[in-house]
Amino acid sequence: MQAHILVCFLALALWRSLEQWMQAKGLGSCARQLLKDVAAIKSVDVILPVRRGEVRTELRLRVVATPEPATAQLLAHLGLRLPRGPRLVANVVPKIAPKIAQEAATQQKRSAN
């Protein structure tokens, strides 16, 4: 129960901070509308297989769509900038090769028996 109260308090504190930030920038205090406008910004992660000789790897790029003019103006007023071109993204969660995953599943079945 204490964890729930803590999470609720932190959410309220973040919400109020966002409202104060908006007021300081002259945008009013409707944080819900700001979040709705910012949620319209779309981004896509593009994964391209790359092969150099025998080595195969993936090139990961993040591409952000150009926002609507009103959203772009809002971001500029807040002093936020979106990336203009594709950006390299680190592979946060490396994939397990299918053969290794199959061997791991087989070992789990053996240990369960």
Q: What is the DSSP string of 92-109?
A: SSPPPPHHHHHHHHHHHH
- End-to-end alpha-carbon separation of the chain, Å? 40
Helix (H) or strand (E) holding 39: helix 31-39
User: Which residue is associated with the tokens 């150009």?
Assistant: 66
Output the pLDDT for position 103: 66
Q: Which of left, alpha, beta for 45 (phi over 0: left; psi -120 to 50: alpha)?
A: beta
Query: Which among 101, 5, 99, 91 has a CA at the least distance from the CA of 45?
Result: 91
How many of the other CB atoms lie within 10 Å of CB of 86? 14
Per-residue pLDDT tens digits of the chain, which is 113 residues long: 999 999 999 999 999 998 998 888 888 888 888 888 888 888 888 888 888 888 888 888 888 888 888 888 888 888 888 877 777 766 655 555 555 556 666 766 666 65
- In the numeric block, which tokens belong to residue 86? 């594709």
Residue bearing tokens 């591409």? 63
What is the reported pLDDT for 83? 78
Give the model's pLDDT for residue 94.
56
